[in-house]
Amino acid sequence: MIANSVNKPATAPAFRVGDERLIKLTTSAATKVGSLLIRQGRPDGVLRVAVVGGGCSGLQYKMDLQDAPANRDILVETGGVRVVVDPKSALYVTGSELDYLDALDGGFKVKNPNAATSCSCGESFSA
């Protein structure tokens, strides 16, 4: 007896499209993210911005380059770059601006209007 195999079509992740009111990249941040995506061989990839527990102020940012949005993500196109944020993190980053400073103490910096306090290192905050 031969078993029937059913090929189910792959479904694309279900994500929502947002706008720059959620998160915005400056020109320098968009340029840096774009070059990092190309260097990793992901020219159509996305920057994931998430907020996780930790850091000296209670919450910290986590950024990662990925191939595509995941289920339930919110996708924002800003500065020619695609940025994704999960719904829980969106509560904390709404209205934020991501900048990149090419200096000794530079790197990616988040200007977050929702942060009640932030630590001196600038990498964690409380809301």
Give the rounded percent of residues in the chain with a pLDDT score beyond 70: 82
Share of the chain above pLDDT 90, in %: 65
Burial annotation 84-117 (CB, 10 A radius, 16+ → b, else e): bbbeebbebbbebbbbbeeeeeeebbbebeebee
Q: How confident is the model at residue 120 (pLDDT cuts 50, 70, 90)?
A: low
Poorest-pLDDT segment among 18-27, 50-59, 74-83: 50-59
The pLDDT value recorded for residue 115 is 82
pTM: 0.82
DSSP code, position 43: T
On the CB side of 97, how many CA atoms lie within 13 Å of its CA? Answer: 9
Q: List all residues 6 or more positions away from 71 whose beta carbon is below 8 Å from its beta carbon.
A: 13, 14, 15
For 28-74, the pLDDT digits (tens) are 999 999 999 999 999 999 999 999 988 777 889 999 999 999 999 99
